[in-house]
Amino acid sequence: MPSEVNKSEYLLKAKELGKQFPGVDSVISVLNGVDFALRPGESVSIRGESGSGKSTLLNVLSGLERADTGQLIWEGEDVTKYSLSKLAAARARFIGFVFQAYYLAPELNALENVLLGARIAGHVDTSERDRAEALLLRVGLKERIRHSSTKLSGGERQRVAVARAMINDPSLVLADEPTGNLDESTGYAVMDLLMEIAEESQKSLVLVTHNPDFAARTQRQLTLCLGKMANQDK
C-alpha cells in the first residue's frame, strides 16, 4: 500500500475531515474540513466552546466514528476505508482513551477494568496481569487494586482509566476533558499524572480541555472553532 506520509514524521494525520449530524430541519455541520497532524511523542491540546465538535473530532481521529469526508492516516497507513472491525483491532493497539466520565465497568474491580483494555486487544496472560498491577501502582492505587470500581472516588476512577489507557502500550493517548468531572485539586493531580506518564513513556497526547493551565502544558495549543482548527502552525 503506498504510504501517504513518512512513518517517522507523523504518528497521525487527518486531512479535510468533515462530519455532519442530522438536525431537525437540516444537517448540523460539526467538522468542516479539519486538518491535523501529530508527530511521535508530541503533546497537543485542543480547546473550543461546548458543542464545537471536540469530542466528535477525537472520536473521528480514533475511528470510533467515521468522518463523512476527508482522510485519516495512522502511522503512515491510510485507514480511512478500513472496515470497522479492522479499525477496532488497530485502534486497540494504537490508541489509549481517557474520557471525562471514566467509563469503567461497574461490576469489575480496578485490576479487571485495566485488563479489559488488554482483553480488547486480544489476550490476557500473566504478563498483562503483571503490567496491569504495575500500572495501578504507578497511578497510586496500590491499596485499591481489587476495589470495586463503584467504591472508588472520581479521582481514583480516573486513575484506573489512565492505567487502562496505557495497558497496551499505545503510541497515542487521547484524553477528552479528563478532569471535567473532578474537583480542582483532584483534577490537577490527575493531569500531573497523565502528563508524567505520557512523557516518561514517550506517548503522543491529544488533550481536550477547557483549562488554560492544562492546555499550556502541552507542546502545541489548538482551538476548534466553526468546525475548523485554529492556531494551526503549518
Residues that bind ligand ADP (CB under 6 A): 21, 28, 30, 48, 50-56
Q: Which residue, 171 or 218, has its beta carbon nearer to ligand ADP?
A: 218
Q: Name the residue nearer to ligand ADP (CB basis): 48 or 155.
A: 48
**Min CB(57)–ligand ADP separation in Å:** 7
If the CB atoms of residues 21 and 103 are measured against ligand ADP, the closer one turns out to be: 21
Q: What is the closest distance, in whole angstroms, from the C-beta atom of residue 28 to ligand ADP in the complex?
A: 6
Closest CA to 104 of 136, 64, 56: 136
For the bound state, the minimum distance from the C-beta of residue 55 to Mg ion, rounded and expressed in Å, comes to 3
- Three-state DSSP at 145 gives coil
103 binds, among ligand ADP, Mg ion, none (CB under 5 to 8 A by kind): none
198: Cα separation from own chain's centroid: 11
Q: What does each C-alpha distance from 229 to 14, 69, 136 come to in angstroms?
A: 11, 16, 35
Cα–Cα nearest to 168, from 76, 94, 79 = 94
Helical residues (DSSP H) of 76-183, grouped into ranges: 84-94, 110-121, 126-138, 154-166
**Which of the residues 34 through 93 are near Mg ion (CB under 5 A)?**
54-55
DSSP 88: H
Question: Which of ligand ADP, Mg ion, none has residue 53 at its interface (CB below 5 to 8 Å by kind)?
Answer: ligand ADP
Identify which of residues 27 and 101 has a Cβ nearer to Mg ion in the complex.
Answer: 101
Which option in Mg ion, ligand ADP, none does residue 168 bind, with CB closer than 5 to 8 A by kind? none
Partner from ligand ADP, Mg ion, none binding residue 218, C-beta < 5-8 Å depending on class: none
Total interface residues for Mg ion by CB under 5 A:
2
Cα dihedral value 151, 155, 156, 162, nearest 10: 140
DSSP symbol at 64? S
Grid cell in block for residue 125: 496472560
Which residues does 224 contact at the CB level (< 8 Å), separation at least 6?
34, 46, 47, 48, 52, 53, 54, 57, 230
28 binds, among Mg ion, ligand ADP, none (CB under 5 to 8 A by kind): ligand ADP
Residue 174 Cβ vs Mg ion, minimum distance, rounded to whole Å: 12
Shortest separation between residue 82's beta carbon and ligand ADP, angstroms: 20
Residues that bind Mg ion (CB under 5 A): 54-55
